[in-house]
Amino acid sequence: MNSPYCWLRHHLGIILQVLLWGPLALCGAEPAAHTPASTEGALVFTTEGASFAPVLIVDGDPDILWTWSDSTTSTSATPSRTFGAAGTRSHSLRVTPWSAVRRINIGYDGGDGGSGLIEGVPDQQVSAVTGLNLVAPTLGQWCSSYNQITALDFTGFANLDTVECFLSRSLTVVNLAGTLKLKRACFEDCDLRSLDLSQSPLLEDLRGAQNRYPTIDFGHTGAQVWHICVRDNPQMSDQTLFADLTPFPNLAELFIWNDNQSGPLRLPASSPSRHVALLADGNHYRSVDLSGALRNAAAAGTVSFRGNQLESIRIAGCVQITDLRLENNRLGAAQLDDLLTTLDTLGRRRADTDAQVAMQVDLRGNAMPGPAGRAAAARLAAKGWTIVTTDWTREPPPAPDTGEARVDFVTRGDAAELRCDVAGTVVATWHWSDGSTTPAVSGADARKSGLGAGDHAGYLTIANGSALTRFGAADGGGRGHLVAISGLNQAPLLAVLYGYNEGALAALSRLDQTRVREYHLWGTALSPAALDQVFADAVATGVSRGRMWCPNPGTDASAATRATLAAREWTISY
């Protein structure tokens, strides 16, 4: 180092280090931004939060390696890493083999009808993902609800069945080409500029409200679809996107209000087994033809086209309709006469409809029906419908006065929780075995405690037996501690008998003078012989399309009555 040449060579080396690495190199420290490990062959997540806790669902026992932004690692499928402060960071994932990965979850809470079988994961504040193609052949579910990702490419994800991007408001681009097994796609309240579902032939459930696309490319997708929700997309320039719904023969829920749709709408078929709801308020439709759809008389059907420009609507054969909302359209008197007459001839009545299902027609803001329409409205009201027009309303008649009724019951143990539903303002009272009484409030649970051990006889009095529509235990199962019920034949309009999971309930009196169409008897102690009587009574009522949950199928002696109920479209579950 004493020669000028050695001094120069030494100091030139220092100068080069400063130029290449910066001043920290002079202190013997690592560079401030050292070269990161290679991300080739890795799935990389860019996050913006102070922590990261993703969830992987894998098959078998693959090798998992997470490498965090600070070079620390984890081999867990459910790691959790805290960094202390928010900031942009990149984390890599390697799985050997990649084919083991079935689900990647960086945000999910079941929003908008999501499956309860997927674990909840809070928003992981992911802003970008690269290398996603590594799991394309085998990934089944992708969940990134609430995250900040702007683009997702699922091209060729042949086994992907679920995409969950609920409230992912930064998401502008998604590619679903080749997603041949995709069943559920949730893009509710994102920022998508386009949506192409033409290569997702098995799609069943689309959630896509509040985005920015001008149209949706369904291609030939539609045969399996039961739910479409793309409401509140007023920017849609394709105003006839849903004009012909022939490609969707299993459609049950169509939510397209405020979507700038116009012209005619034709739905020739709908789901044969589900409740059907067609909600298209706030568009510009001029005509609706539903003839051939809504054919399931055992289920409810809601049709709502409020605030459109309807001049005609056809409902021939639509026996499923229970709720028809057509306020503020352009329907004339002749059209309304035809509509109400058709609805009347369809024969839907309260006696064959679940008690909780509304049966109503709202025609306000249109012309007034003529004589034929008014006559049909009166007949519909007698069947249990409520018809509302601008000038008048027709409502079902009040329950006939059949006089005071008494329903007896026996409970077991210290406490009981019972419930009755009553039409109108009829006075009803619970009478307990200790001599105390409780006012019966329709639809509210009556709770009694302090009865002590053993069996306790009580009863319900109601000023008009015809007003009683539901009787039994409180909802939830097993809360009534019922042992026996008698006197229900004094309630001729009783529709619901609730004894779900009432494990000691072994005795029921006759029900053949009621209108019960829901027997919640699963989990009771009713014997096969007792069930024979229940089946026979259900036949005697004449009710169609009822439902019965019971602990056993009765004896062979009830084969004929069960067959009769089946012919009347009852559903019986053992």
User: In this predicted structure, what is the pLDDT of residue 352?
Assistant: 84
Location of structure tokens 């290398």: 131
Q: 3-state class of 541 per DSSP?
A: helix
- State which H helix or E strand residue 340 sits in: helix 333-346
Can you tell me the distance from the alpha carbon of 480 to that of 7, in angstroms, rounded to the nearest whole number?
98
- For residue 2, the model assigns a pLDDT of 44
Indicate the burial class of 302 (C-beta count within 10 angstroms; 0-12, 13-18, 19 or more).
buried
Q: What residue has token string 């044969």?
A: 272
pLDDT for the residue 19? 37
327 φ, ψ to 5°? Answer: -60, 145
By the 10 Å C-beta count (0-12 exposed, 13-18 middle, 19+ buried), 66 is classed as buried
Alpha-carbon torsion angle 422, 426, 430, 431, nearest 10: -140
Neighbours of 417 (CB within 10 A): 18
Cis peptide before 97 (omega within 30 of 0): yes
pLDDT tens for the chain, 574 residues: list them: 444 434 434 444 433 333 333 333 333 333 333 334 557 899 999 999 999 999 999 999 999 999 999 999 999 999 999 999 999 999 999 999 999 999 999 999 999 999 999 999 999 999 999 999 999 999 999 999 999 999 999 999 999 999 999 999 999 999 999 999 999 999 999 999 999 999 999 999 999 999 999 999 999 999 999 999 999 999 999 999 999 999 999 999 999 999 999 999 999 999 999 999 999 999 999 999 999 999 999 899 999 999 999 999 999 999 999 999 999 999 999 999 999 999 999 999 988 888 789 999 999 999 999 999 999 999 999 999 999 999 999 999 988 999 999 999 999 999 999 999 998 889 999 999 999 999 999 999 999 999 999 999 999 999 999 999 999 999 998 999 999 999 999 999 999 999 999 999 999 999 999 999 999 999 999 999 999 999 999 999 999 889 999 999 999 999 999 999 999 989 999 9
Is residue 69 within 8 A of residue 83, CB to CB? The reply is yes
Q: Are 51 and 82 in contact (CB under 8 A)?
A: yes
Q: Which residues contact 22 (CB under 8 A, 6 or more apart)?
A: 31, 32
Question: How many Cα atoms occupy the beta-carbon half-sphere of 347 within 13 Å?
Answer: 7
The domains of the chain are located at 405-573
Where does residue 532 rank: exposed (0-12), middle (13-18), buried (19+ CB within 10 A)? buried
Q: Are 191 and 212 in contact (CB under 8 A)?
A: yes
**Strands (DSSP E) along 54-192, which ranges?**
55-58, 63-67, 73-74, 81-82, 89-96, 101-105, 126-130, 141-143, 151-153, 162-164, 173-175, 184-186
pLDDT of 38: 59
Tell me the helices (H) and strands (E) count for the chain, helix number first: 5, 39
Residue/partner pairs of 160-168 with CB below 8 Å, 24 or more apart: 162/115, 162/118, 163/187, 164/107, 164/108, 164/111, 164/114, 164/118, 165/190, 166/108, 166/109, 166/111, 166/112, 166/114, 166/207, 167/111, 168/107, 168/144
Q: Which of 230, 224, 289 is nearest to 255 (CA)?
A: 230
Residue 17 identity (one-letter amino acid): Q
Instruction: Report how far residue 249's alpha carbon sits from residue 272's, in angstroms, rounded to the nearest whole number.
Output: 9
Distance of CA 518 to the CA centre of its chain: 22
- Residue 536, both tokens: 């026979």
> How much is the pLDDT for 396?
94
* Distance (Å, whole) CA 201 – CA 134: 23
Which residues have a Cβ under 8 Å from the Cβ of 27 and sit 6 or more positions away? none
Query: 81-82 and 151-153 as β-strands: parallel, antiparallel, unpaired?
Result: unpaired
- List all residues 6 or more positions away from 14 whose beta carbon is below 8 Å from its beta carbon: 26
- pTM for the structure as a whole: 0.83
Tokens of 86: 């928010």
Cβ–Cβ < 8 Å for 360, 323:
yes
- The answer to whether 305 and 329 have CB atoms below 8 angstroms apart is yes
Distance CA 252, CA 276 (A): 4
Q: Which residue from 294, 295, 337, 292 is spatially nearest to 312, judged by alpha carbons?
A: 337
Structure token pair of residue 104: 């990647």
Name every residue whose Cβ is closer than 8 Å to that of residue 161 and which is 6 or more positions away in sequence.
140, 141, 181, 182, 183, 184
Tokens of residue 135, six digits? 């799991």
Separation of first and last alpha carbons in the chain? 98
Complete DSSP assignment for 458-495: EEEEES-GGGEEEEEEPTTSS-S-EEEEE-GGG-TT--
pLDDT for residue 356? 82
> What are the residue ranges of helices labelled H in 73-201?
none
**Cβ contact 74:81 at 8 Å:** yes
> Helix crossing, 371-382 with 333-346: angle to 10°?
30
